[in-house]
Structures are given as C-alpha cells and as structure tokens.
Amino acid sequence: MTPEELTRFGDFFVGQLHANNFEVAMELLVETMLLSPQFLYRVELGLPAADPAAEYWSLDPFETASRLSYFLWASM
C-alpha cells in the first residue's frame, strides 16, 4: 500500500472505531479494502514515455509480468 492509502484507511478505521466498537470497525475496514478498485480490477497505470508527445505509456516490470501471466494462463 502507498503511504496515502495507509493514511486514508487508517483515518477511516479510527473514525469507525470512535463511532462503533472494534469488531464493527474492523469489519468495515476489511469491507472497504476488498471493495477498492485496485483490489477488484487489474489496474495498469504505466510509466510515462520519454517523449511527452508520445501516445503510449510503457508498463513497469510488475505490470508487464501481470499482463504476461494473464495472457498465458488467464490467471495471476
């Protein structure tokens, strides 16, 4: 997780902890994480091309490996 995501989920948990008990706060936190688009979908953000006028972005090594895996085995 990125530091921004960690802060956002941490703040959400603390807010829920003040409004509910620990079990409900944890349940809502896990539910929120599992409903995140980054968890549900394979997101490819890519790296910007060296030429700003280029119409494509290159994939980072993890995205390349993920795309190859889904192409070859239709799975992770």
63 Cβ neighbours under 8 A, 6+ residues apart: 44, 45, 46
Query: What is the rounded average pLDDT for all residues in the chain?
Result: 86
Angstrom distance (rounded) from CA 57 to CA 9? 29
Q: Report the pLDDT averaged over residues 8-17.
A: 96
Summarize pLDDT for 26-62 with one digit per residue, the tens.
999 999 999 988 888 877 777 777 776 767 778 888 8
Residue labelled with tokens 């409900």 = 24
Query: What pLDDT shows up at residue 59?
Result: 82
| Model pLDDT, residue 1 | 76
Rg (CA), the chain: 18
**11 or 54, greater pLDDT:** 11
Give me the pLDDT at residue 40, please: 83
